[in-house]
């Protein structure tokens, strides 16, 4: 049987022998009729805690973490929705969008414009995280089971930190999203390699994982 894999811009066609392979396919659903309205409602009436506008005060700095070009995040919809909610509370010059590259390369300008749209690129400072650039990183200490935590300095020093992205199954973390937009997304190479070493992949302690991700989401 023929299958089309989501690969590159046009997909990848492969042949699979159904007698020797089991094909598991997702159940696709129609997109929301008004996606912007759905995003706005989620920011104004979240499942927990106050609305975004009530979490931010004038004069504060804001860092927004977004997926890099290897992930199919609808950044062109999500980031404007967040910025619209911040409008009138914080200045655009006090906002930075951090591309959570993890250990990947940074996205060039043409890629950033395709990811975020021209209006966002021209109006907001966007920085590609570099896990190998010591100048971008700040030491947060050792946490969990001896994990050396280095995080993006602009993220750690921002008054308000917002992760954006999506949730999908992950082969050893259970689900991707949330804290992963910070580590590995905005972490140092040393931190990423430690979190992804064979021992931790093979022996994940849920309590230690919760403690570490709580620290990563809310660095002090």
Q: How far is CA 145 from the centre of its chain?
A: 23
Q: Is 104 a catalytic site residue? A: yes
CB 183 within 8 A of CB 192: yes
Among 28, 143, 170, 196, which one carries the catalytic annotation? 170
- Find out whether 180 and 214 touch, Cβ atoms under 8 Å: no
Residues paired with residue 201 on neighbouring β-strands, in sequence order = none
Phi, psi of 54 (to 5 degrees): -85, -5
Between the alpha carbon of residue 78 and those of residues 41, 66, 105, 125, 168, the distances in Å are 12, 9, 22, 16, 17
- Among candidate residues 28, 29, 76, 104, the one labeled active-site is 104
Alpha carbon distance 102, 100 (integer Å): 6
- Would you call 170 a catalytic residue per the annotation? yes
Give the Cα separation of 14 and 197 in Å (integer).
31
User: Across the chain, where does the E strand assignment appear?
Assistant: 2-5, 12-15, 62-67, 95-100, 125-128, 137-143, 147-152, 160-163, 168-170, 174-176
Which residues are catalytically annotated? 104, 170
């Amino acid at each position: 049987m023929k299958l089309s894999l989501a690969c590159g811009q046009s997909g990848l066609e492969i042949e699979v022998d159904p007698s020797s392979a089991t094909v598991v396919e997702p159940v696709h659903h129609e997109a929301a009729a008004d996606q912007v309205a759905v995003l706005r409602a989620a920011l104004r009436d979240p499942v927990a805690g106050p609305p975004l506008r009530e979490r931010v005060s004038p004069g504060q700095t804001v860092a927004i973490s977004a997926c890099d070009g290897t992930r199919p995040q609808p950044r062109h919809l999500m980031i404007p929705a967040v910025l619209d909610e911040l409008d009138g509370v914080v200045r655009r010059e006090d906002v930075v969008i951090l591309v959570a590259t993890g250990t990947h390369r940074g996205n060039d300008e043409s890629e950033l414009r395709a990811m975020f749209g021209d209006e966002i690129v021209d109006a907001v400072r966007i920085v590609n995280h570099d896990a190998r650039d010591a100048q971008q990183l700040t030491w947060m200490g050792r946490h969990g089971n001896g994990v050396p935590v280095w995080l993006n300095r602009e993220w750690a020093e921002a008054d308000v930190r917002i992760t954006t992205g999506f949730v999908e199954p992950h082969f050893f973390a259970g689900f991707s999203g949330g804290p992963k937009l910070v580590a590995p997304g905005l972490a140092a190479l040393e931190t990423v390699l430690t979190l992804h070493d064979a021992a931790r992949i093979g022996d994940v302690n849920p309590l230690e994982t919760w403690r570490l991700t709580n620290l990563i989401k809310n660095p002090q």
